[in-house]
A and B are shown apart, each in its own frame.
Chain A
Amino acid sequence: MLKSFCIKREWCKGCGICVAFCPTEVLALDAQGKATAVRLEACIACEQCALRCPDLAITMQIAERED
């Protein structure tokens, strides 16, 4: 479960890798060409964006699921 999600805008160069590979289309590039979370509620916390980000701009914290 996603606890926190942060994109460092000043580090992001807008390559679009996170946008292209997000399985639930959470991310998009904004008017300045920076990655931004447009529907964070759909995030499944797979971490693919943070792991692939070549700018190390994405950080996320994931909480253990409590069933």
Chain B
Amino acid sequence: MAIDKYLRERFFPHMWCAGCGHGTVLNALVRAIETMGMSRNEIVMVSGIGCSSRITGYVDVHTLHTLHGRALAFATGVKLSKPELNVIVPMGDGDALAIGGNHFIHAARRNIAITALVMNNRIYGMTGGQYSPLSGCEVLAATAPYTTIDPSFDVVALSVAAGATFVARCTTYHVKEMIDILRQAILHEGFSVVEILSPCPTYFGRSNKLGDAAEMLRGFKEDTVPVGSAAKQKNPELIERGIFVQKEKPEYCAAYEKIMQKARSAAGETI
């Protein structure tokens, strides 16, 4: 199979639970990269901490497994020093938006050409099922035995407001759609955010009686609609998926290069 070359097969079978959506994200991500015919040498994947962040261990590209919530900070350093590389940052919902919330909004504000993936399983899986900033109200979690009272972030609205120039949402049920969105996100010249609804059958599913992995995927099929769909007008509870924003704005590394040139010429004039 053509995607084999992007995998570190010696680490398989992977450590994720049976039915964990993060495996499907890995599957779609390597397929997206394969369709673009990218060399392994021109891709850097940077992750933080959590179930989702283990993804960098399984891909045979340049990888960095860094601090909780700080993946985007490390990735910013990588991208600024080597702007020609494609930098992809897969994060979990807690990693990206609780621990790393500040890094997330500021990376978006700068519009640095990094692809940020938010693998949203609505729970902290690795540490035993505590609720996250994307769990939402009225869900059961290890830290919310009487259900949560915290509303969740809308990742799309947050990213748009913070300045991201490519913002999309997809699910692990709609894999072909995910592959297409990931490809466009990676090719985008600016900060791109892709929220991927990914099931955690072990903690979120079990605590909230959502059934097995297949049942949770059926939920994604039933609860989501393509962006701009008329069904959303009738039922505001439905979650839209697709590309919400795709626009051009000055990119951070390009702006930095310009300012460096200005500084160099100013220094040259004074010498």
Contact = CB atoms under 8 A, between A and B. Distances in A.
A56 B214 contact: no
B122 to A, nearest CB: 17
Query: What is the predominant secondary structure among interface residues of chain A facing chain B?
Result: loop
Contacts, number: 71
B19 A15 contact: yes
B27 A16 contact: no
Interface in B189-224: 201, 212-214, 217-218
B14 A55 contact: yes
Query: Which size class do A's interface residues fall under?
Result: 20 to 34
A57 B16 CA distance: 13
B15 to A, nearest CB: 11
Contact of A53 (B24, B176, B201, B218): B24
A20 B214 contact: yes
Query: What is the predominant secondary structure among interface residues of chain B facing chain A?
Result: helix
A34 B213 CA distance: 15
Contacts of A14: 18
B18 A13 contact: yes
A17 B173 CA distance: 10
B67 interface: no
Nearest to A20: B214
A12 B14 CA distance: 10
Interface residues of B, number: 30
Contact of A56 (B7, B17, B179): B7
12 contacts: A13-B18, A15-B213, A16-B212, A19-B214, A20-B218, A51-B176, A52-B175, A52-B217, A54-B20, A54-B21, A54-B172, A59-B1
> What are the 5 tightest A-B residue pairs by CB atom distance, in nearest-first order?
A54-B23, A15-B19, A20-B214, A13-B18, A51-B175
Interface of B: 1, 3, 7, 12-14, 16-24, 26-28, 31, 172-173, 175-176, 179, 201, 212-214, 217-218
Given A15-B213, A15-B214, A56-B26, 5 more contacts: A11-B13, A13-B13, A17-B213, A54-B22, A56-B23
